[in-house]
Amino acid sequence: MATRIEGPCIQHRLGQVSIKMYDKFHRVLRLETTTNDVSCFKHYRKGEHRDHHETHEIAPLRKIIYSLIDLRQILLGCHRRYLEYLSALDDPSAGDRNLHRLTRPKIVDGHTLQGFNFFDSTQQTSLRALQRPEFNIQGIRRADLSRFLPNLSVSSMTRYLGRLRKFGLIKKVAHSDRHDLTRLGRSAIAAACRITAQIIVPALAGATA
């Protein structure tokens, strides 16, 4: 006796035809097309008329064994087009996870590190400094960064760099005192600056008190 472990199932229907998509064990994607009336599909075949003459034309499938080859090709075409549609969809789940990872508090070695508020002016100024062209070329050093963030003390700057590193926005260059922005750091900072400059500020400019 076997126990069937069912995963999520999504079903789309068009008349008598349905396409089902199963998520088996969260590992295997299975497609299944079913119909109770194959005559909704058409193929090129020999047709017999009432006056007993025969012609070759586009006609509905018949529920006989000789239609199985063409039916198989038609159903495979349904699967292919459905998979092509799915492959064209954007999956924002990774972006959601990264956003939560960067904005929520994080506990490291028993200490709570506050997440980033990308729209806070002070924090955005600090993050914008990391994007300076010279840092993209030669890396980020505490001494160089302090010139653009004069309000932070040496100890505060060290903690700030450590916080950036713990959240994955920067990474330390091996055998060096320099850091580089990670791909996540570049994307997050650029997106926050672009949204602020191109959406939030213009929208608020026309607002009345």
Q: How many domains does the chain have?
A: 2
Query: What is the reported pLDDT for 6?
Result: 67
- Domain of 99, in residue numbers: 93-205
- Given this model, what pLDDT does residue 28 score? 79
Q: Splitting the chain (209 residues) into consecutive groups of 10 residues, what average pLDDT does each group show?
A: 65 85 79 85 78 78 83 86 84 88 90 90 89 87 88 88 93 90 92 90 78
For residues 35 and 126, state if they share a domain.
no
**Same-domain pairing of 55 and 27:** yes
Please check whether residues 191 and 99 belong to one and the same domain.
Answer: yes
Contact 119, 192 (CB under 8 A): yes
Answer yes or no: do 98 and 197 share one domain.
yes
Are residues 72 and 130 located together in one domain of the fold? no
Q: In whole angstroms, what is the distance from residue 100 CA to residue 86 CA?
A: 25
CA 36/CA 17 separation, integer angstroms:
7
pTM over 0.75: no
Of 53, 68, 87, the residue at which a domain comes to its end is: 87
The pLDDT, as a whole number, for residue 16 is 83
Name residues whose C-beta falls within 8 Å of residue 93's C-beta, 6 or more positions apart in sequence.
Answer: none
Provide the pLDDT for residue 88: 82
Residues 39 and 82 in one domain: yes
Say how many CA atoms lie within 13 Å of 13 toward its Cβ.
4
**So what's the pLDDT on residue 183?**
92
Whether 124 maps to a domain, the answer reads yes
